[in-house]
């Protein structure tokens, strides 16, 4: 798509905003933006990368919005009182949300592949993007995480890929209901589980999403997903599952600490062995989803299997930061019950105590997920694991603090597991590093805060100093 328009992103450093800005800039649009993290001097390398791509950066003081012809892109979380929004209102600029703009690009693509679900979206999006790229399809990929395969000195924050082919691969967010804007040619549904909104609402949104698709790739291991699959016409459905009946089935899974392999039984095809550079049963399921989407896009099975073996994973998705004095430090995006449980299951497949620092990604999600989070930690933590919760991430604005990290810790501790509330995350990190002994795994978990990666690195540095 060629653009003669000018866009201004308010909050351009956000995980959903930055890749979209990269795509527009790569397609020739005039792109500028502001971010409070830029004003605060946080994560300068991220903004340096945007500047290298021709994106003009401004303080978040209204100075970057100079013409009513600029289209102002801002999430619903941006308050009307932010100076950029005040200036846009004065000039009468057209406004779009991130999701509206992404859906516009997605729906215009000759081949649109949308990845939905409560967990695994970014990984499956990255896997599909890598398969298509490795098979010569030159896709455009919109992701919420940095894809290691596409990282280079020229692109250190590769959460987007701009290609000349017809495919547009994007993760699709349900948290704000914007999934309804997308018209997928191929829809992937990984799973349906509690995260940002009540289950009935999630089922309705995901059901409508896959019903619009020419082909729907659906996980039968997830109860709600399987129920939605039953409503799809058979000729539009590609199902997948682990060790049960489906169009794509994984059997004979072999798990390693940071990799996995399995036998793939695909209807109408000879059995093939799949190897992955990412660990855990959840990534076996993610691989099935990606292979299913690639097949729906016309990629032969053998080509898809060969390509996915080269998928290097994503930043902050079970990422080994390093090891020091016999202690491994892992950076992970886990922030809802299913994501955290998948990480804990993967780690508990091998010996060693877990020292967890989980920073909740907001007070609202903490309220919605309280009982499910507590039940998950009570079930999944081993007797000698230690969980610490600092206070939730807070990026400014008004928010109700009805459920806090202290409430979660009280409930988890009441179940007999070891849990501590340490309000300041630096203090929580220092406590875990001090507690660590050889054989332990330290895991930093949370979303909506890129500085968690810096925290994980600081813990590794502390271990090295020992």
The whole-number pLDDT of residue 361 equals 83
Q: How far apart are CA 464 and CA 458, in angstroms?
A: 10
Tokens at 192, concatenated: 């349906």
- Least confident range from 116-130, 270-284, 287-301, 390-404: namely 390-404
Confidence grade of residue 70 (pLDDT, cut at 50, 70, 90): very high
- Comparing CA positions, the residue from 239, 228, 226, 309 lying closest to residue 274 is 309
Q: How far apart are CA 42 and CA 458, in angstroms?
A: 15
The whole-number pLDDT of residue 396 equals 60
pLDDT, one tens digit per residue, over 75-119 is 777 889 999 999 999 999 999 999 999 999 999 999 999 999 988
pLDDT, one tens digit per residue, over 371-392 is 999 999 999 999 999 999 999 8
The whole-number pLDDT of residue 175 equals 76
pLDDT reading at 398 higher than 70: no
Report in angstroms the alpha-carbon separations of 449 from 43, 77, 283, 442: 11, 15, 23, 18
pLDDT reading at 397 higher than 80: no
Tell me the mean pLDDT in the region 119-136.
96
Confidence grade of residue 199 (pLDDT, cut at 50, 70, 90): confident
The whole-number pLDDT of residue 137 equals 97
Q: How far apart are CA 308 and CA 315, in angstroms?
A: 17
Average of per-residue pLDDT values in the chain: 93
Q: What global pTM score does this model have?
A: 0.89
Tell me how many degrees the CA angle 188-447-82 measures, rounded to the nearest 5.
105
Q: How far apart are CA 95 and CA 280, in angstroms?
A: 42
Confidence grade of residue 369 (pLDDT, cut at 50, 70, 90): confident
Confidence grade of residue 173 (pLDDT, cut at 50, 70, 90): confident
Q: How far apart are CA 405 and CA 203, in angstroms?
A: 28
Q: Residue 195, SS3?
A: coil
Assess contact for 413 and 419: CB atoms under 8 A.
yes
Q: How far apart are CA 404 and CA 451, in angstroms?
A: 21
Q: How far apart are CA 283 and CA 276, in angstroms?
A: 8
Tell me the mean pLDDT in the region 403-411.
94
Tokens at 426, concatenated: 């630096």
Q: Is 242 left (phi over 0), alpha (psi -120 to 50) or beta?
A: beta
Q: Which residue has the tokens 């009280």?
A: 410
């Amino acid at each position: 798509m060629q653009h003669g328009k000018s866009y201004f992103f308010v909050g351009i450093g956000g995980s959903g905003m930055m890749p979209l800005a990269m795509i527009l800039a790569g397609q020739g649009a005039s792109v500028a933006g502001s971010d409070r993290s830029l004003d605060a001097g946080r994560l300068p390398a991220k903004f340096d990368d945007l500047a290298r791509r021709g994106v003009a950066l401004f303080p978040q003081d209204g100075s970057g919005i100079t013409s009513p012809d600029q289209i102002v892109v801002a999430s619903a979380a941006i308050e009307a009182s932010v100076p950029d929004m005040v200036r846009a209102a004065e000039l009468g600029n057209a406004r779009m949300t991130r999701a509206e703009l992404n859906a516009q690009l997605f729906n215009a693509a000759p081949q649109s592949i949308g990845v939905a679900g409560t967990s695994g979206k970014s990984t499956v999006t990255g896997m599909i993007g890598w398969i298509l790229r490795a098979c010569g399809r030159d896709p455009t990929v919109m992701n919420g995480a940095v894809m290691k395969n596409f990282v280079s000195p020229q692109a250190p924050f590769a959460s987007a890929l701009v290609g000349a082919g017809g495919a547009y691969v994007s993760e699709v967010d349900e948290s704000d209901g914007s999934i309804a804007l997308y018209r997928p040619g191929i829809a992937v549904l990984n799973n349906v589980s509690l995260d940002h909104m009540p289950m009935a609402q999630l089922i309705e949104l995901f059901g409508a999403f896959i019903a619009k698709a020419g082909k729907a790739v659906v996980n039968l291991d997830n109860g709600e997903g399987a129920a939605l699959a039953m409503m799809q016409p058979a000729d539009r459905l590609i199902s997948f599952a682990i060790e049960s009946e489906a169009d794509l089935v994984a059997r004979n899974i072999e798990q390693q600490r940071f990799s996995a392999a399995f036998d793939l039984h695909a209807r109408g095809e000879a059995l093939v062995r799949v190897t992955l550079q990412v660990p855990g049963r959840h990534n076996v399921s993610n691989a099935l989803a990606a292979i299913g989407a690639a097949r729906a896009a016309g990629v032969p099975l053998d080509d898809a299997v060969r390509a996915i073996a080269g998928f290097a994973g994503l930043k902050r998705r079970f990422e080994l930061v390093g090891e020091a004095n016999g202690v491994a430090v892992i950076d992970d995006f886990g922030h809802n019950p299913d994501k955290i449980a998948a990480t804990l299951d993967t780690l508990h497949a091998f010996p060693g105590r877990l020292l967890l620092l989980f920073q909740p990604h907001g007070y609202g999600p903490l309220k919605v997920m309280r009982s499910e989070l507590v039940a998950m930690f009570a079930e999944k933590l081993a007797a000698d694991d230690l969980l610490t919760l600092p206070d939730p991430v807070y990026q400014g604005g008004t928010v109700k603090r009805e459920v806090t990290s202290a409430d979660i810790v009280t409930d988890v501790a009441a179940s007999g597991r070891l849990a501590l509330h340490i309000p300041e995350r630096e203090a929580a990190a220092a406590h875990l590093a001090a507690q660590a002994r050889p054989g332990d795994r330290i895991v930093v978990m949370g979303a909506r805060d890129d500085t968690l990666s810096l925290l994980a690195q600081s813990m590794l540095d502390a271990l090295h100093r020992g």
